[in-house]
Chains A and B, each alone.
Chain A
């Protein structure tokens, strides 16, 4: 008997805790009790003001985000260009040092000649690689910037339409209230119009995914071009290496 009593107590406690939580989970749209719905027309001015303020704030945030995105892309580009240049300078200095050592090792004219040929082959391969990589990177950055601009413009245009749709829905609600339409009906109509505006906004923003796909293709093209250039360089370098080693093996 005591166990049943305890069990009932636990169930009651759980019910007390979970009932409001479940109620909140179901409430994914703003709702109001029937009495509040009747008073909707008295609140319409406040509601309109609140929504407009939030939309103005989000619009400002969007503008800041646009600037932030372009600034970050620019900073990354500058940082990467600098890093790449440092790596190229370091590689050149290291190669010069090693080739000087090899010159000291050279015992014959044939070896010195092979060393000169190696130096020339490496320099030529480096020029070809540098031109190909730099072009791939420049093409990528230009096209990426263009697509990001399109993306930002699309967000702005979609937001402008969304704000206009919301404003129109609010204006109709005000007009209906002024015309003494049943406040509950006005409220329902407004909510429905806002949901339609959201659906339209979401649909329009799906185009952003298409732009994302274009950026992905662009990235793949860049990666392939850079990798191809690097592979071609390594192949040329390997041939030059074998020729030089053969010359130094014939002493």
Chain B
């Protein structure tokens, strides 16, 4: 009878220890997931800002300077069989 009582108490202690370990493990896992999510959220925001910057800082020089050919054409227009 004593043996059974000791065995039962031992099993209960073991179960309690396992449960505490599981809880600690779950806590660590949640913490790790949360940290990853925070990092991912920030990383995504930074990437979006970089992507927006790339759009905003594009140059229009090619369009603005495209009239240069017209300037040359004026001079060319005076060429004739003199």
Contacts and interface: CB of A to CB of B under 8 A. Distances in A.
Interface in B43-82: 44-46, 48-53, 55-61, 63-67, 70-71, 73-82
Given A98-B41, A162-B74, A237-B42, A47 B27 contact: no
Contacts of B78: 51, 54-55, 166, 194, 197-198
B56 A32 contact: no
B38 A102 contact: yes
A105 B33 contact: yes
Interface of A: 30-32, 40, 43, 46-47, 50-51, 54-55, 57-58, 61-62, 65-66, 68-69, 72-73, 76, 80, 83-84, 87-88, 90-91, 94-95, 98-99, 101-102, 105-107, 111, 118, 122, 129, 133, 137, 144, 148, 151-152, 155, 158-159, 162-163, 166, 187, 190-191, 194, 197-198, 201-202, 205, 208, 212, 215, 219, 222-223, 226-227, 230, 233-234, 237-238, 240-241, 244-245, 248-249, 251
Contact of A32 (B59, B63, B77, B81): B81
B55 to A, nearest CB: 5
Given A91-B45, A151-B64, 4 more contacts: A30-B81, A61-B73, A101-B37, A191-B82
